[in-house]
Amino acid sequence: MDYFFDAELPCTSSALPNPEAQTTQFSGHLSKGDSSSITDGPSSENNSVEKIRNKVEELVERINTSRASDKEMDSYQKKLSDKLSEMCQQLKDHLYSVYEDNSRKIEGKLTELSEILNNCQRLNQDLQEATQALSHLRDSF
């Protein structure tokens, strides 16, 4: 008699909607008196029932262990998420300080460029005045 309990299937509670809301724990312990209510047949059937009972106890124990590891994973995920949020905030703060520094540098360069353009405009006016003066001198001769 081969039962499907022999298959090693992974057991997780990830399919449950909210693992933290699951507070019920399986007991995993069946009393020996329960086997008599299942069958009163020969000894080989009692051995099979005992094997099934042991397998069920193992599976229940694995489920409980899996639930505990799911809680650990949830805790780890929360810590990781908090750390990631903290790192993102630090990166954001650093970027803002870099933006402000670059903005100050650009503002200084724009002020310098404005002064240079004003000087160019004055020099252009001086050049035009000199050109007109030379033009009047040439015309007067």
Q: What is the pLDDT of residues 63-122, one digit of tens each?
A: 888 777 778 888 889 999 999 999 999 999 999 999 999 999 999 999 999 999 999 999
Separation in Å, CA 34 to CA 25, 42, 50, 54, 98: 20, 16, 10, 13, 73
Q: Which of 67, 92, 88 is nearest to 13 (CA)?
A: 67
Q: How many residues does the chain have?
A: 141
Q: For residues 123 and 130, what is the distance between their CA atoms, to the nearest angstrom?
A: 10
The dihedrals phi and psi of 120, each to the nearest 5 degrees, come to -60, -40
User: Has residue 12 got a pLDDT over 60?
Assistant: no
Average pLDDT over residues 19-30: 44
| Residue numbers of the domain that contains 88 | 4-140
Give the pLDDT of residue 10. 46
Positive or negative torsion for Cα 95, 99, 101, 102: positive
Q: Which residues contact 83 (CB under 8 A, 6 or more apart)?
A: none
Q: Looking at the 3D structure of the chain, how many domains does it have?
A: 1
Question: Phi and psi dihedrals of 13, rounded to 5?
Answer: -105, 20
Q: How far apart are CA 1 and CA 50, in angstroms?
A: 13
User: Taking a C-beta distance cutoff of 8 angstroms, is the pair 47, 2 a contact?
Assistant: no
Which two tokens mark 127?
């050049």
pLDDT at position 71 is 80
